[in-house]
Amino acid sequence: MEWIKAQIEWLKSIFSEASGKASIKRLIMFIITIAFLHAYTRIAVDSKELVDIPQNWSFLLAGILGLGILGNHVNQQKKGE
């Protein structure tokens, strides 16, 4: 039972900021990533080959990473002031 509680706490930490507050940004990033992995895996399994990532998905995933990095940078700038 303790192992399950530890796993739940770990899962909560994925969707929380460093301060412990819940983060809708992290939740949306996770959902988009899961949607991409599901769609890409299904296409790869159906075609039995690894295909190139469509351009719209690559821009979306790169944008998510970039916005996450920018958000962290802005937060650090605010803390430094």
Q: Using one digit for the tens of pLDDT, what is the confidence trace for 42-68?
A: 988 998 887 787 788 888 888 888 887
Angle at which helices 55-80 and 24-47 cross, to 10°: 160
The answer to whether 36 and 1 are in contact (CB under 8 A) is no
Question: What pLDDT, on the 0 to 100 scale, is given for residue 53?
Answer: 78
Above 90 in pLDDT, residue 3? yes
Say whether pTM exceeds 0.75: no
Q: Where are the domains of the chain?
A: 2-80
Instruction: Reply yes or no on whether the pLDDT at 40 is more than 80.
Output: yes
